[in-house]
Amino acid sequence: MKKILLSACILLAVTQVSKAQKGFKPLFDGKTTSGWHTYNKSTAGSAWQVLDGALHLDPAKKGTDGGGDLVTDKEYGNFHLKYQWKVAPKANSGLIFYIHEDPKFSATYSTGLEMQVLDNDGHPDGRITKHRAGDLYDLVKSSSEPVKPIGEWNSAEIVSKKGQLTLILNGVTVVKTTLWDDNWKTLVAGSKFATWTDWGTFKTGKIALQDHGDEVWYKNIMIKEL
């Protein structure tokens, strides 16, 4: 009887997970960098290694092709993105989205918005308001900080639909804002991006995992187009 009950519980849990992920498609297959490339290049930089089902940026393994921000081959407009991340001590990274890939822009952050990935206590950015883990980088401070200790996996979500943006960290909604309206323009005008041509204006774009020169891991990256 106990075995039957255990099997039933396992089946229920699997069914619930399956329902929760319905409509989501993996952006990372857990084995290769297929579907990704370094920004403004055709292949993925050698510093991005697949390790234990995760994309691992190891700065020590940068070869002649280096690392660089890893971007999706495809662009997305309205979407619900889920992913997990963890960082090494004193590390900085980010999930950047609505990126316009063009040689006239030198980096993903030249056009894209960022949900910050950070060791809040170990990296200098942790002392800057709107630069901490979960923040909409340099624009909106997280309403709370449910970030996990260094070395533990954090679960994050970005939901963007018809200009309504929500950032979720470890099941807690930490940022809600509206994109591209007058209030958005005011936010941008008060940020470091105020004079950056075309920054934060694209309504479709690529998604990137940032190479900030520090060790970071990403896994279970999946998306649902809305």
Identify the CATH number of the domain in which residue 93 sits.
Answer: 2.60.120.560
The pLDDT tens digits for 179-208 are: 999 999 999 999 999 999 999 999 999 999
Helix ranges (H only) for the chain are 2-20, 182-189
- Whether 212 maps to a domain, the answer reads yes
Residues 170 and 163: beta-carbon distance below 8 Å? no
* Statement: residue 19 has pLDDT above 70: no
* Statement: residue 146 has pLDDT above 80: yes
- Whether 9 maps to a domain, the answer reads no
**Segments forming the whole domain that contains residue 123:** 23-225
How far is Cα 102 from Cα 42, in angstroms, rounded to an integer? 13
- Whether 59 maps to a domain, the answer reads yes
- Whether 47 maps to a domain, the answer reads yes
Average pLDDT over residues 27-48: 95
- Whether 95 maps to a domain, the answer reads yes
* Statement: residue 136 has pLDDT above 90: yes
What is the structure's pLDDT at 60? 85
The pLDDT tens digits for 73-97 are: 999 999 999 999 999 999 999 999 9
* Statement: residue 9 has pLDDT above 50: no
How far is Cα 188 from Cα 202, in angstroms, rounded to an integer? 13
What is the structure's pLDDT at 21? 78
Average pLDDT over residues 12-40: 80
How far is Cα 59 from Cα 193, in angstroms, rounded to an integer? 27
Average pLDDT over residues 32-49: 94
CA-nearest of 90, 172, 82, 98 to 139 is 98
How far is Cα 175 from Cα 103, in angstroms, rounded to an integer? 31
Average pLDDT over residues 19-37: 91
What is the structure's pLDDT at 10? 47
Radius of gyration of the chain (CA): 18
N- to C-terminal Cα distance for the chain? Answer: 43
The pLDDT tens digits for 150-168 are: 999 999 999 999 999 999 9
Identify which has the larger pLDDT, 117 or 16.
117
- Whether 8 maps to a domain, the answer reads no
- Whether 77 maps to a domain, the answer reads yes
Domain count, the chain: 1
CA-nearest of 158, 169, 81, 160 to 120 is 169
How far is Cα 16 from Cα 13, in angstroms, rounded to an integer? 5
- Whether 10 maps to a domain, the answer reads no
pLDDT band, very low/low/confident/very high, at 65 (cuts 50, 70, 90): low
What is the structure's pLDDT at 46? 87
How far is Cα 134 from Cα 114, in angstroms, rounded to an integer? 9
What is the structure's pLDDT at 64? 59
